Structure 1
Amino acid sequence: MADTLNGPVCEASDAAPEFPMPRAARCPFDPPPALKELQETAPLSKVRLWDGSRPWLVTRHADQRALLGDPRVSADTDSPGYPPKADGDGGDSKFGFIMLDDPEHARLRRMVTAPFAVKRVEALRPVVQGIVDGLVDELLAGPRPVDLVEAFALPIPSLVICELLGVPYGDHAFFQENTKTMVHRDATPEQRGQATREIAGYLGGLIGERLADPREDLLSGIAGRVRAGEIDRRMATEMALLLLLAGHETTANMIALGTLVLFRNPGQLALLRESDDPKLVVSAVEELLRYLNITHLGRRRAVTADIEIGGQVLRAGDGLILANEIANRDPEVFPDPDRLDLTRDARRHVAFSFGVHQCLGQPLARMELQVVYGTLFRRIPTLRAAVAFEDVRFKHDAFIYGVHSLPVTW
C-alpha cells in the first residue's frame, strides 16, 4: 500500500492515552481536542482501551479510506486483536453481516440490498414527506415547549423503518427502550444482553409469522431466504435486528443533533430556511453529516496480514480504531474544517464509512434528512431551543451520539 501518512508515529508505551477521549465541555459538536492534536502530531498512534488492550488509532482521512478499503483489514469481531467497545462487546451476535468479512459478508448483504437502492428509496420520498408534514402539523397543534426528540426526531425514522420491515409501529416504545439499553455505554453486559434477547425474540416471532404468511415487506423477504435454505432463523433475526436498530436510532440522533447545531449557527440556519434550492438542502445534509458524527467511538477493525502505511508496519493481530469524527475534520480534505458551511462540497466525508462495509442504508438516511431539513424550518420559521444551551444533555454515555432531549418552541 502506498505511503499516505506523514509525521511521527507513537509507539505503544505506558503513556498511551486512553480512548475514548473526552470532548471539550464548551464544544460538544467538535471531536475531542486530543484527537485533533494527534491528527496534527502523531496521526497513527497507540491508545489504551478499557480492557488494557492497545489498538492503533487512525486519525487522518486518507489513511482511514486506505485501510477501510484494504482486504487485510477485518470487521469480524472474532479476529485476533479486534478492539471491543465495552465489556461483553462482540461474541455471539454479528448483527447480521456488518461484523463479518467477505465473501460471507457480501453474500448476506446482497439479500437485503434491493430495498435500499437509490431508485427504491426515492420512490419512498412522498411517503416520508407525508410523515414529516403530519408530525409538523402535530407540533403546531400541540403544547409548547415540546421535546423535539420524542415528538419529531425519533418517530420519523421509526415509522419509516417499521413500514419497510413490516414491524408494527404500535410496538415502538418496546423496541426503542431496548435499543437505548443496547447502545448505552454504562449498561452492564447482562443488561445489554437481556435487551438484545428481548428484541431478538420479538423479531424472531415476526419472522415466524412471515414464514407462515408472507407479506410485501422486508421481513417477508428475509423469511423467504430462510425458506430457501440460504440462512437460518438466527441469522434472519440478527439481520432484522440490525436493520431495525440502524434504521431508527442513528437517523433520530442525527435529526436532533443537526437541529441543535443549526440553532447555534443562525446564519447557516437562515440560509437553509430561506432558500428554495433543493441542491442547497442536499449540500446541507452532507455538511451536517461531515460536521457531526453520531458514530463517535471510532470504527473498529483488526489487521489480518501485515500492512505498511506511513513508514509503520501494522502487524497481523493488531487492532485498529478509525476515528471518523476527526477524519471528517481533516484540513487536508476539508479547508477550515471546524466551520459549518452548508454550501461546502462535503461529499467525501466518511460518516457512512468507506469500502465494502459502508452503510447499506445511507440512501434512506440521506433522503430522510433532506426531507426533514427541507421542511421543518420552512414550516416553523421561528423554531428555536426552549432551554439554555448549557442545559442540553448530550449522549456522552452512549455508543451513538446525540442529545437525550431537545425542548423547542416557536
Structure 2
Amino acid sequence: MDATAAGPLHTLTAMPAARQAGCPFDPPAELLDAREHGPLSRYPFPDGHQGWLVTGYDLVRAVLSDPRFSSRKEFMLHHPLIDYTGAEVPPAPPGEFLLMDEPQHSRYRKPLVGRFTVRRMRQLTERVEQITTEHLDAMEEAGPPADLVTAYATPIPAIMICELLGVPYADRDAFQEQVGSFMSGETSDEDLIAAYTAVQQYLAELVAAKRAHPTDDVLSDLTDSDLTDEELRGMSLILLAAGLDTTANMLALGTFALLRNPAQLAALRGDPALADGAVEELLRYLSVAKTFLRVALEDVELGGQTITAGTAVILSLNTANRDPERFSDPHVLDLARRDGGHLAFGHGIHQCLGQQLARVEMRVAFPALVNRFPTLRLAVPADEVALRPETADIVGVKSLPVTWDA
C-alpha cells in the first residue's frame, strides 16, 4: 500500500482517452467526477503502481510548492496512460531544468530569470504586433478559408522564440518542423527519435555558432557564462518547449473557444481593455498544460492521506482550474472574471519561465484577430475539428479551419 487512508476513497481506474469532440474545452468527465468525490483520488498506474490523482486547486498548489515532491526525470517511472514496465529512466540531460530539483534547477533557471521579466517581455510588444499584423495581412490577402494553426497560431510564438534564441531566419522553417514532430504526440517512436536527435544536433551547432559570433539574443548572452555547450543546448530545448507549443495551442484552442462562445467573442471585440482579463480567463478555462507528475521523496501528509515515499502523484491542472471551491461558475467562460489566480502556468519553483512572453503574445494576437475579421467563424462543424491526441502533453487542435466574409 502507498498510503494510509482514513475512510473510503474514490479510485479512477483509467485516465480518460479523449475529450469531447466539438467542445474540447472541459476536462474529461471522469476527471470532473473524481474531483466531485474529493480533491484526492487513488490511481492505479498501467504498470501496477498504486499512485494518486490530485484534482483540487488547493492540493495541486500545495504539491507544486512542496520540495518533498520531486520532478526529477529519473523518478518518472510511471506514466498515467502507458505501461513502461521494465523501462529505465535516466536523469535529465544537463540544462533541462524542468526535470530537476534544487539546487541543480536553480543553476540553470537563475541565469534566465532576468531575461524574461515583465518589463523585458513588454518591450517586445511592438515586435509581436508587427509579426501579428504580417500574418493577418497574409491571411487577408490569401482569402478564406484558412487553417488558423498554420497561418496564425503557430508562426507568432515560433518566430518570437526563434528570435530570442537567435535562430537564423533561413533555418526557421525546417527547425520548427522538427520541433513540431516531437511535440505533436502522434509521431512514431522512430520518427520521434529522429526529430529529437535533429533538434539536438541543430541546437549544438547553434550554441557553437553563438560562442564564435555572438548576436543580440538570449543564447548569445548565456555563452558569456560558465555554462557548458551541453548545458546551453539543454536549456535551449526547454525554452523551445515552454515558448512554442503551449502558446501556439492556446492561440488556436482559445480562438476555438471564443468562436463557441459568441457573447464573449463580441465582448472582446468591443472592449480592447478586456484583453488582459481575457487572456487570464482563457488560460484558466483551457489549461492546455493539463497534468504534471510528481513523486514523493518522503512520507507526506496530503489532504488527510499519507503519500508514502516513492509514490507517483498526478496533478490535474485542468480540474484544479475548474474547482468550484476556488472559482465561481468554474465551467463558464467569463472574460470579465475577477477571481483569478489560476494554475495554468504551474506554481512554485517550476512556474513557467516564459509566462510573461506568452501573455504578451496572446494579449496582442487574440484582439487583433477578432477585430481584423469581424465575421470570423469555423469553416467546418465544430465536431469535425481535429483534436490533438490525449497522449500529447499539451491540449489543442491539429488544425482549425476558419472562414470569414472577404
2:324 counterpart SS class: coil
Q: Tell me the residue number matched to 2:396.
A: 402
1:96-135 aligned at under 5 Å gives the runs 96-135=96-135
What residue identity is the alignment partner of 2:105?
H
Between stretches 249-258 and 186-195, larger displacement belongs to 186-195
Any idea what the Cα deviations from partners look like across 1:269-316, whole Å, max 9, x if unmatched? 000001132xx11000000000002112x1011100111122210011
Aligned counterpart for 1:74 among listed residues 64, 67, 70: 70
Q: Tell me the residue number matched to 2:325.
A: 332
Q: Does the CA contact (< 8 Å) of 1:302 and 1:317 recur in 2?
A: yes
1:299 counterpart SS class: strand
1:321 aligns with 2:314: yes
- Structure 1 residues 282 and 108, CA, compared in 2 at 3 Å: closer, same or farther? same
Q: Does the CA contact (< 8 Å) of 1:262 and 1:269 recur in 2?
A: yes
Structure 1: state its 5+ residue gaps: 1-5
Q: Tell me the residue number matched to 2:3.
A: none
1:285 counterpart SS class: helix
Offset at 1:112? Answer: 1.4
Q: Tell me the residue number matched to 1:35.
A: 31
Distance 2:42 2:174 in 1: 40
Q: Does the CA contact (< 8 Å) of 2:10 and 2:37 recur in 1?
A: no
Q: TM-score, normalised by structure 1?
A: 0.90
- Structure 1 residues 84 and 216, CA, compared in 2 at 3 Å: closer, same or farther? farther
Between stretches 214-223 and 84-93, larger displacement belongs to 84-93
Q: Does the CA contact (< 8 Å) of 2:144 and 2:402 recur in 1?
A: yes
Q: Tell me the residue number matched to 1:3.
A: none
Aligned counterpart for 2:55 among listed residues 56, 59, 62: 59
What residue identity is the alignment partner of 1:198?
A
1:239 aligns with 2:235: yes
What residue identity is the alignment partner of 2:25?
F
1:7-406 aligned at under 5 Å gives the runs 8-10=8-10, 16-25=12-21, 27-79=23-75, 83=79, 91=90, 93-94=92-93, 96-225=96-225, 230-277=226-273, 280-296=274-290, 298-397=291-390, 398-406=392-400
Q: Does the CA contact (< 8 Å) of 1:262 and 1:268 recur in 2?
A: yes
Q: Aligned pair count?
A: 395
Distance 1:364 1:346 in 2: 22
Distance 1:261 1:395 in 2: 15
Q: TM-score, normalised by structure 2?
A: 0.91
Q: Does the CA contact (< 8 Å) of 1:79 and 1:304 recur in 2?
A: no
- Structure 1 residues 157 and 7, CA, compared in 2 at 3 Å: closer, same or farther? farther
Any idea what the Cα deviations from partners look like across 1:197-241, whole Å, max 9, x if unmatched? 11010010010011111122111123223xxxx332222111111
Between stretches 182-191 and 384-393, larger displacement belongs to 182-191
- Structure 1 residues 259 and 27, CA, compared in 2 at 3 Å: closer, same or farther? closer
Offset at 1:29? Answer: 1.1
- Structure 1 residues 175 and 329, CA, compared in 2 at 3 Å: closer, same or farther? same
Q: Does the CA contact (< 8 Å) of 1:158 and 1:169 recur in 2?
A: no
1:140 counterpart SS class: helix
Offset at 1:339? Answer: 0.7
2:53 counterpart SS class: strand
2:196 counterpart SS class: helix
- Structure 1 residues 151 and 24, CA, compared in 2 at 3 Å: closer, same or farther? closer
1:224 counterpart SS class: coil
Structure 2: state its 5+ residue gaps: 1-5
Distance 1:80 1:353 in 2: 18
Any idea what the Cα deviations from partners look like across 1:141-170, whole Å, max 9, x if unmatched? 113111111111111001111111101243
Distance 1:43 1:30 in 2: 17
- Structure 1 residues 156 and 127, CA, compared in 2 at 3 Å: closer, same or farther? same
Offset at 1:107? Answer: 1.8
User: Alpha carbon RMSD of aligned pairs, Å?
Assistant: 2.2
What residue identity is the alignment partner of 1:160?
M
Identity of aligned residues (%): 42
